[in-house]
Structure 1
Amino acid sequence: MSYTNNQRYTGRLLSMIGLLGILVAAESCTTSSGNTDGQMPLPMLPVLTLNNLSATTYREFPATVEGKVNVEIRPQVDGYLEQIFADEGAYVKAGAPLFRVSDKPYREQLANANATLLAAKGNLEKAELEVERLTPLVQNNVVSEVQMKTAKSSLQTARATVAQAEAMVSNAQINVGYTLVKAPVSGYIGRIPHKTGSLVGRGEAQPLTVLSDIHEVYAYFSMSEADFLQFKEEAPGNTIEEKIGNLPPVELVLADDSVYPEKGRIETVDGQFDKTMGAITFRAVFPNSKGLLRSGNTGRIRILKQYKEALVVPQEATFEMQDKVLVFVVADSNKVVSRPIAIGDQSRNYYFVKDGLKAGDRIVYTGLTRLRDGVTIAPQVISMDSLIKSKPL
């Protein structure tokens, strides 16, 4: 029994010695894997050196496109639509026939007006003959002056009746002419809601079609009050007309994000703001000789702005705090200091700095959530040129 207890004691002693050896080995490995002075390693973060660049930025505004001339084609007479001469989307020249409204009732009116005119002319001739017959008789005192005055009055009435009948004939001819609807301008035919046999007239809410002259198109877009004030401040010129005239050509970005190949120019601006929207409307004009744009197209007007020297910072290198935009500047001894910046403009990926930084400053590019003022980092220099190649201005 005594021998067995000694064995157990010896086994426990050996186990404790082994455990102590494992702990010592683990401590030795931990010490050897860390800094020799026991401090945490410095965070390695990418750092950019800022420099002035030539750059182009732009601002975009939603726009709608309309043909330079959009004419609603409406019938001037009531009747059944008898014939349609042009199909939807077709190009027609000014004066080309588009629609014919049944003209039978209007030709009957014309015939009736002509008959009335003939009768009026017959009465006029009769009245003229009566005056001619009475003239010598009055001169020879055969009949009284009263009869002559009555005859002349009848003559005047007959002449008025002829003039009235002629006006009726002219009006009837106009109505007959209105039954053939012609294109007032050259352009493209829009949708035709009425089909052959439809009853159409001047009271219809829908026009027969819309004719669009799209050799040039208008793009309408709106600026908010703040944008308009910025435009007035930045655009050169003393008056709004001069400022608009000095604007560079604008681009039209289509619904598929492609850029329309022709550049346009801003021509006019409304005289007042829309009270409900708080915005003011501009109009730009674009050439459209190939007919690529149609009335009803939507897109975005892009107004370009050139910078000869601009200090830009990537948006990823900034953070916001209390309505301020800040960056971490790498100061002496590689310590970082937060600094607010004033933004003058921006592109999709960059801010254009107006104040707060200067060329030669170094800023931390990413990993900002790990930083606070006074932290020392191990800078990993990256080139601004290589960054711009991967993320264009």
Structure 2
Amino acid sequence: MGAVRRAEFVLTRGDDVWLFDEGGSRYLDATASLWCVNVGHGRREIADAVAAQMRELATYQTFGDIANPPALELTRRLAALAPVPGAKIFLVNGGGDAIDTAAKLAREYFVRTGESERTVLVSREHSYHGTQGFGTALAGMPGNRIAAPFVPDVSVVAHDDPAALEAEFERLGPGRVAAFFAEPVIGAGGVLPPPPGYLERVREICDRHGVLFVVDSVICGFGRLGDWFGIERFGVVPDMIVFAKGVTSGYLPLSGVVTHERVAAPFWDDPAAAPFRHGATYSGHPAACAAALANLDILEGDGLLKRAEDLEGELHAALRTLADHPLVTEVRGGTGVLGALELAPERLGADPTLPARVARAARERGALIRPMTSALGFSPPLTLREEHLDLLVDAVRGGLSAVL
């Protein structure tokens, strides 16, 4: 806070993959803001849909029996797209809200099904699940566990070893674990694709131990991995899916949880069931839902899920051309429109600010990239083209060399 209060980088306008600062300089947005502007900046279709909805009904809460047309249309549409049977949708405002919702749903599900001792929530090293109460407690990034844990009964295991997950379930004891949280591709923790077969194995382990499998697709959904919810390509059916970011391409805050019909049943099937006393003032916000509906139309109409299938390889190939740089020790990517350059550990040991310094140098050369703990992250809009990749590589190589 103290370092930036007199040195703000002020952005004033966006157009497709480009951003412009207050001085008129142009930058390639190679991170889609925070992994979310999947359809690109400045889409009039979304702005017009939001304005039209605001003229009709800008906002109203959706507690009890209250609903609005955009919320009903959006949840029905998402349920139809979701890769789980009998999907039900719980809408909230952001990824952290949705993680808290899924965590509370998991614990309450077991209370309502007679296994109230199932309270433990398990996540992975390097994982990011937001910065609210449950998300901070579940964080697999040590630097994000500020003042944590806010909630008891959480555990973190290796990010790439199914055997470690099963051993942790066994250590905790039978009937103790409620849910396991996993990102299909770990995002903020370094862009770490799952080892082959990993997600399939953990699904089997969760089934064997009666544990709910919660997929955190906040970063991975709505085209980022080439499908709607970021899990379909692995052939795994989760118990819950957490989504946010790409559902509106970040144009308005919106998120939610998809639940399997089995998980929804104790809350949904009996009209006399006690209410799930959880929600937010802006859950089901009409204008936000209108933005999401327009965004889904663009993703479908412009063929951006198919574009993502091609772009993931193009981005990975472009980043691999930087593998020979002295500051780069590993190039990650190839699973979705996501990538990372891991920086040399000996250099990081001498200067932990290295990722931020390289990102700043790349920005001075016209590209916005994401500094992470030990790497540089990439997650451009799905509208990115080959000529943009050339500019990106040149800016990043120039930034690396300037810092070196």
TM-score normalised according to structure 1 size: 0.22
> Which of 1 and 2 has higher RCO (CA within 8 Å, sep 6+)?
1
**More helix per residue: 1 or 2?**
2
**More strand per residue: 1 or 2?**
1
Q: Which structure has the larger Rg over C-alpha atoms?
A: 1
